[in-house]
């Protein structure tokens, strides 16, 4: 340990400049964390690292042989040794204050005032303390006990006495961290304290001369200790910004999803309201035409007016249906006859079917197919499918427009409702995503009707599917729902 090596005067400025930079960066990171969380414990720890950074400056200036044979600032023989002692006492004191303040109750640990003013006061206090200790070690050199006998050799008993004081402080800081550790920062502060203990033990017990093997090793230990916490703080800061980026990305995605949901809600309301309004318009036109007949066809006028009243009522039900659909509400659930739903939809669409010259064929089960569900929503599904079929056959010019509605029992467990048309059909590439929102095969379609239909059927524990045969015209949409038997419904 005490084997003498060549005296490399530049080693002290090089090593201690690296320590200065590391401790300044560490202090800045801790001050920035204090700005965010305003924990007094972090302010004390940041001040401790600022102290270790600033006191390095006078220590390397007054170190014998670093810049001048006796050191700058009118340094005496003992000046650098006592600054080293002050340096290695300041950091463990800051760690002890950090642990005690961190474990205090919330009111004492959270800083209430301006964090910028607190940092400014902290920096000023540290500068004053470092300046005072520098003055004491230089101008008051004669007041301090003698540690070094000459520029190279020290008094072993004095080295042990001053080293024991720093060792006791560092061991106390390590013990407090050990029994009260809470974070990754605490763990790495423990590593720093262990490194300081090794350095101080080597200095106090084995190193009695400068420029020996152990002396150079202790300086490398000092540099290593400063790097540990800087690395962990940089990694924590990087992780913090990564979490912040992920949080901002998640918030942006959630915001976009909400906007899409609002757009979908508005578009679905528009889509659902347009259908009964279109039916009202068509029936109004039919009523006017029947009134112009000579004599007026009052029976047809009466049927058209009834259809208008029914469509007006259906318009008011649209909002309730959509609210229950998007709210996932179980209200309005009742036993429903799907045959009756199909016939009601055909009666509602009668004027539209006649206007487009579409023939209708129904194939309904003899036994009422009862399902548990929301009447308005299931009626909207069938109506959407029928309306889509009418629009699909609108461009057919050679006749043969046929709409087929079929209900078919699947044993005693499910009922299938089919709506088939003889329109232009659906191409295979569009068939795969036909039920996706905002996907449409119509020039002016919104692409929401079938998406809403699928949502309704899935909420009723059913399945909606589509197929189209390229060898013949038309498309087939069908949905399957679980049924209730007559006996079960009666009970």
pTM of the complete model: 0.48
Residues 198 and 87 in one domain: yes
- Of 251, 274, 307, the position where a domain reaches its end is 251
**Measured between alpha carbons, how far is residue 490 from residues 226, 335, 367, 375 in Å?**
82, 11, 14, 19
The pLDDT score that the predictor gives to residue 254 is: 64
Does residue 113 sit within a domain? yes
Residues 366 and 233 in one domain: no
- Of 251, 267, 300, the position where a domain reaches its end is 251
Does residue 325 sit within a domain? no
Does residue 314 sit within a domain? no
Does residue 296 sit within a domain? no
Residues 38 and 163 in one domain: yes
Residues 238 and 337 in one domain: no
Number of H helices, E strands in the chain: 15, 7
Residues 122 and 225 in one domain: yes
Does residue 78 sit within a domain? yes
Q: Give CA angle at 65 (62, 69), nearest 5°.
A: 90
Does residue 266 sit within a domain? no
Q: Can you give the CATH number for the domain in which 355 is found?
A: 3.30.565.10
Q: Can you give the CATH number for the domain in which 132 is found?
A: 1.20.1070
Residues 145 and 31 in one domain: yes
The pLDDT score that the predictor gives to residue 157 is: 67
- Spatial distance between the Cα atoms of 387 and 385, rounded to a whole number of angstroms: 5
The pLDDT score that the predictor gives to residue 490 is: 41
Q: Any idea which residue has 């200065």 for tokens?
A: 20
The pLDDT score that the predictor gives to residue 320 is: 61
- Spatial distance between the Cα atoms of 184 and 259, rounded to a whole number of angstroms: 40
Residues 240 and 368 in one domain: no
Residues 237 and 347 in one domain: no
The pLDDT score that the predictor gives to residue 223 is: 67
Other C-beta atoms lying within 10 Å of the C-beta of residue 362: 13
Element (H, E) at 338: helix 338-348
295-313 per-position pLDDT tens digit: 887 777 787 787 777 777 6
- What's the token pair of residue 9? 């005067």
Does residue 305 sit within a domain? no
Residues 221 and 349 in one domain: no
Residues lower than pLDDT 70 in the chain: 1-11, 66, 104-109, 148-160, 203-230, 232-234, 236-237, 239-241, 244, 248, 250-275, 313-332, 398-399, 411-412, 437-448, 470-472, 484-491
Residues 350 and 219 in one domain: no
Residues 90 and 190 in one domain: yes
The pLDDT score that the predictor gives to residue 153 is: 64
The pLDDT score that the predictor gives to residue 480 is: 92
Does residue 477 sit within a domain? yes
Residues 231 and 342 in one domain: no
Element (H, E) at 463: strand 463-468
- Of 251, 275, 297, the position where a domain reaches its end is 251
- Spatial distance between the Cα atoms of 10 and 175, rounded to a whole number of angstroms: 36
Domain span at residue 486 reads 331-490
Total domains in the fold of the chain: 2
């Amino acid at each position: 340990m005490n084997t003498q090596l060549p005296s490399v005067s530049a080693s002290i400025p090089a090593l201690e400049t690296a320590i200065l930079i590391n401790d300044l960066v560490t202090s800045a990171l801790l001050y920035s964390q204090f700005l965010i969380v305003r924990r007094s414990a972090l302010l004390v720890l940041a001040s401790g690292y600022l102290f270790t950074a600033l006191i390095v400056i006078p220590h390397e200036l007054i170190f014998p042989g670093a810049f001048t044979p006796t050191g700058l600032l009118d340094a005496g023989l003992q000046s650098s040794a006592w600054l080293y002692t002050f340096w290695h006492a300041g950091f463990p004191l800051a760690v002890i204050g950090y642990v005690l303040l961190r474990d205090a109750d919330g009111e004492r640990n959270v800083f209430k005032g301006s964090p910028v003013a607190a940092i400014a006061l902290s920096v000023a206090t540290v500068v004053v303390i470092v300046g005072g200790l520098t003055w004491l070690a230089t101008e008051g050199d004669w007041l301090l006990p003698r540690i070094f006998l000459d520029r190279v050799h020290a008094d072993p008993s004095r080295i042990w006495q001053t080293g024991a004081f720093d060792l006791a402080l560092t061991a106390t800081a390590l013990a407090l961290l050990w029994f009260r550790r809470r974070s990754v920062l605490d763990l790495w502060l423990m590593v720093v304290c262990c490194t300081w203990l090794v350095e101080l033990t080597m200095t106090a017990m084995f190193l009695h001369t400068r420029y020996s093997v152990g002396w150079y090793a202790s300086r490398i230990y000092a540099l290593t200790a400063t790097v540990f916490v800087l690395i962990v703080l940089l990694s924590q800061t990087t992780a913090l910004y990564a979490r912040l980026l992920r949080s901002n990305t998640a918030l942006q995605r959630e915001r976009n999803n909400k906007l899409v949901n609002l757009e979908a809600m508005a578009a679905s309301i528009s889509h659902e309201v347009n259908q009964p309004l279109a039916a009202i318009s068509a029936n109004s036109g039919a009523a006017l035409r029947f009134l112009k007949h000579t004599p007026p066809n009052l029976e047809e006028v009466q049927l058209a007016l009834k259809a208008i009243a029914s469509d007006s009522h259906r318009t008011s039900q649209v909002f309730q249906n959509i609210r229950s659909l998007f709210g996932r509400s179980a209200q309005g659930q009742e036993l429903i006859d799907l045959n009756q739903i199909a016939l009601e939809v055909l009666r509602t669409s009668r004027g539209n079917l006649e206007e487009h010259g579409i023939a209708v064929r129904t194939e309904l089960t003899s036994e009422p197919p009862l399902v548990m569900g929301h009447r308005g929503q299931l009626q909207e599904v069938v109506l959407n499918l029928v309306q889509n079929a009418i629009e699909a056959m609108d461009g057919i010019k050679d006749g043969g427009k046929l709409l087929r509605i079929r209900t078919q029992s699947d044993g005693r467990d499910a009922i299938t409702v089919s709506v088939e048309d003889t329109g232009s059909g659906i191409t295979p590439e569009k068939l795969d995503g036909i039920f996706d929102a905002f996907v449409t095969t119509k020039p002016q379609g919104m692409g929401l009707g079938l998406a809403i239909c699928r949502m309704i059927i899935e909420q009723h524990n059913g399945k909606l599917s589509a197929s189209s045969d390229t060898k013949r015209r038309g498309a087939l949409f069908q949905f399957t729902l679980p049924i209730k038997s007559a006996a079960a419904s009666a009970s």
